[in-house]
């Protein structure tokens, strides 16, 4: 083992998840502001001339004001080296978020105080529970009128099946928002909306037993209500238990307003105390310890054309153990090839910095000449193990892709293949035909727009999409089945993926069961594997 234990132990790697518009990107920017990574938090919305949020870099994101790809942001704060994986909030991009969660050690869930738990949050939350990822909850937008606080907590517990433990408690909301009560110090941190865009070290703290001072700040009505709520809270809420938090069974809850910069630094300080150093990871040979083992990593995301000038392709890797040093030789396990990683970079949205070293917990972007796939493992040449693969979501929407200019066949095939390798879309071919008939499948329909936009803007290829009626896809697990002899239903279509593996599309769910019944020994699966 090298002398890198200290470097690994100061790393914290987490993903931020939320429903669109809950304020996730604003929260991310405020974190960066505290770490000195940016000097001025950019407003996420606003006119075309306004600064765009640092983590939104793709043109279509700037036009629509939504995040469609995950960004990786690193900053230093209070002796910690923090890697934030910012994820798209829109449900049509949940697959990208899902893969990103595979690379995180914990998740920060941002909830809009006036909306509570929304559909997208539920879906992502299930992924966290499946992986037992610790979840930290930030209830945002307290500067606007909010739902009842007890109801918000109750909803988190019911909807997501996890106990809550408020670390602080809001005093009012909207125009009546006075600040938060901090349970541990039994003091009130007062809110002032004049501190937008500044660091919040100047917030006034008033011990709860300093009656007169407290009354002058928050008034008698808010003081009486707070006293009643604290009593209720102390009797009803789950006890603070760090082991339960780290096991993903209890979520600590914080309240604040990312836009007006209130409660963000308080949250960050508590979060860093509670969250863990990079965790061991499961491989086919057992758990790989971050400190005891030499360099290893896995690819969780591939993104083409991040840099318009270079038309390049970047493979994002989560380092799981040891230390990466420039020009070291590593083994690409799936390709069974020893190689040097080309131009390893740390990427802050579309800004890049070439790295000479990186440690377990860090995320690095590597130039990919087209050899990496999502889920691939890299390790030292003498080692031989593979991290567990990342399941692919079953697409729910399908369309046939028609190319408008047949002279641009080469660019079209290259473009659609590259975008598919990123995992944003899945492409299939008609059974028994070549690439001339391409069917594209997506988890959310907005991905069709992104595909069209990117083919046009990055590859100069125009396409027309013809929607298909299919809603269900199944992978055939037993490859020995003769597809020509398969007896299906009238609404079934045989297709194959890029690896040549056979799949079936169905319009109706009941047809799946009928097809299995009609073909002895047929085994179908909802998940493909990267």
CA nearest to 253, candidates 164, 337, 331? 164
Superfamily of domain 281-379, CATH level 4: Translation factors (2.40.30.10)
For residue 45, pLDDT over 70 is answered with no
Helix (H, G, I), strand (E, B) or coil at 337: strand
Spatial separation of the C-alpha atoms in residues 133 and 124, rounded to whole Å: 11
pLDDT of residue 511: 93
* Superfamily of domain covering 393-529: Peptide chain release factor 3, domain III (3.30.70.3280)
Radius of gyration of the chain measured on its C-alpha atoms: 25
Confidence of residue 331 (pLDDT cuts 50, 70, 90): very high
pLDDT level of residue 528 (50, 70, 90 thresholds): low
Instruction: List all residues 6 or more positions away from 1 whose beta carbon is below 8 Å from its beta carbon.
Output: 291, 292
Q: Provide the pLDDT for residue 70.
A: 43
Kindly report the backbone phi and psi dihedral angles of residue 76, in degrees, each rounded to the nearest multiple of 5, phi listed first. -105, 140
* Inter-CA distances, 151 with 120, 144, 156, 157, 183, Å: 19, 17, 9, 10, 19
Query: Looking at residues 89-105, what average pLDDT do you find?
Result: 68
Residues 75 and 32 sit within 8 Å (Cβ to Cβ): yes
Q: How far apart are CA 228 and CA 239, in angstroms?
A: 19
Show the DSSP H helices in 132-191 as ranges. 149-160
> What gap in Å lies between CA 138 and CA 254, rounded to an integer?
5
Could you tell me which residue, 437 or 358, shows the higher pLDDT?
Answer: 358
Q: Which residue has the tokens 């009797």?
A: 235
Written as six digits, the tokens of 529 are 């594997």
Q: What percent of the chain has pLDDT over 70?
A: 82
Which sequence spans correspond to the domains of the chain? 10-274, 281-379, 393-529
Is the pLDDT assigned to residue 61 strictly greater than 80? no
Question: Is it the case that residue 381 has pLDDT exceeding 70?
Answer: yes
Residue carrying structure tokens 């209500």 = 225
Structure tokens at 382: 């003498």
DSSP 3-state of 451:
helix
| Least confident among 35-44, 363-372, 406-415, 518-527 | 35-44
List all residues 6 or more positions away from 4 whose beta carbon is below 8 Å from its beta carbon: 291, 322, 323, 359
pLDDT of the residue at 32: 78
Outline where DSSP puts E strands in 293-396.
296-304, 313-321, 323-325, 329-332, 337-340, 345-348, 351-354, 357-359, 363-367, 377-379, 391-392
Whether 79 shows a pLDDT value over 60: the answer reads: yes
**Of 8-12, 125-129, 272-276, 368-372, minimum mean pLDDT range:** 125-129
Q: pLDDT digits over 162-206, tens only?
A: 899 999 999 999 999 999 999 999 999 988 765 554 455 456 788
Band of the pLDDT at 433, cuts 50, 70, 90?
Answer: low
CATH architecture of the domain 10-274 equals 3-Layer(aba) Sandwich (3.40)
Of 17-31, 90-104, 261-275, 398-412, the least confident:
90-104
Alpha carbons 445 and 90: distance in angstroms, whole number: 11
State how far the Cα of 412 lies from the Cα of 416, in Å rounded to an integer: 6
C-beta separation of 162 from 154 below 8 A? no
Give the span between the Cα atoms of 253 and 296, in whole angstroms.
34
Separation between Cα atoms, residue 131 and residue 127, nearest integer Å: 6
Q: What are 207-213's contacts with CB under 8 Å, separation 24+? A: 208/181
């Amino acid at each position: 083992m090298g002398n890198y234990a200290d470097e690994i132990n100061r790393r914290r790697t987490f993903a931020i998840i939320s429903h669109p518009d809950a304020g996730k990107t604003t929260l991310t920017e405020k974190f960066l502001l505290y770490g000195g990574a940016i000097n001025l938090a950019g407003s996420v919305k606003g006119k075309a001339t306004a600064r765009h949020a640092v983590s939104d870099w793709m043109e279509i994101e700037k036009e629509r004001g939504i995040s469609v790809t995950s960004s990786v942001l690193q900053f230093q704060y209070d002796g910690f080296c923090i890697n934030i994986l910012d994820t798209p909030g829109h449900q049509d991009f949940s697959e990208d978020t899902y893969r990103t969660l595979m690379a995180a050690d914990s998740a920060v869930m941002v909830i809009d105080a006036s909306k509570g738990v929304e559909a997208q949050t539920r879906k992502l939350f299930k992924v966290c529970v499946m992986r037992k990822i610790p979840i930290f909850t930030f209830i945002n937008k307290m500067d606007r009128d909010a739902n009842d606080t007890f109801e918000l907590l109750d909803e988190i517990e019911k909807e997501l099946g996890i106990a809550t433990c408020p670390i602080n408690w809001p005093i009012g909301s909207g125009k009546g928002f006075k600040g938060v009560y901090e349970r541990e110090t039994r003091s009130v941190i007062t809110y002032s909306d004049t501190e937008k865009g500044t660091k919040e070290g100047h917030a006034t703290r008033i011990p709860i037993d300093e009656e007169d001072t407290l009354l002058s700040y928050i008034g008698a009505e808010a003081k009486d209500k707070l006293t009643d709520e604290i009593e209720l809270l102390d009797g009803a809420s789950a006890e603070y238990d760090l082991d339960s938090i780290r096991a993903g069974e209890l979520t600590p809850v914080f309240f604040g307003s990312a836009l007006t910069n209130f409660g963000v630094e308080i949250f960050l300080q508590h979060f860093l105390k509670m969250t863990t150093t990079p965790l061991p990871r499961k491989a086919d040979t057992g758990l790989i310890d971050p400190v005891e083992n030499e360099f290893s990593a896995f690819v969780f995301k591939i993104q083409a054309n991040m840099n318009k000038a270079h038309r390049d392709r970047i493979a994002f890797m989560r380092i799981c153990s040891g230390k990466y040093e420039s020009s070291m030789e590593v083994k690409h396990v799936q390709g069974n090839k020893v190689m040097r990683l080309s131009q390893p970079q740390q990427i802050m949205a579309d800004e890049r910095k070439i790295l000479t070293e990186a440690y377990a917990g860090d995320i690095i972007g590597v130039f990919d000449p087209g050899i990496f796939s999502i889920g691939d493992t890299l390790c030292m040449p003498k080692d031989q193990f593979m991290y567990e693969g990342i399941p692919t979501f079953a697409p729910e929407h399908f369309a046939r892709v028609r190319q408008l200019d047949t002279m641009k066949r080469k660019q079209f095939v290259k473009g659609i293949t590259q975008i598919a390798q990123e995992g944003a879309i899945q492409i299939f071919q008609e059974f028994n035909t070549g690439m001339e008939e391409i069917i594209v499948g997506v988890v959310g329909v907005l991905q069709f727009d992104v595909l069209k936009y990117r083919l046009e803007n990055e590859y100069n290829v125009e396409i027309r999409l013809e929607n298909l009626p299919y809603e269900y896809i199944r992978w055939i697990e037993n490859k020995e089945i003769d597809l020509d002899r398969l007896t299906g239903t009238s609404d079934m279509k045989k297709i194959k993926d890029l690896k040549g593996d056979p799949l079936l599309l169905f319009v109706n769910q009941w047809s799946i069961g009928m097809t299995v019944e009609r073909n002895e020994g047929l085994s179908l699966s909802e998940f493909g594997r990267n």
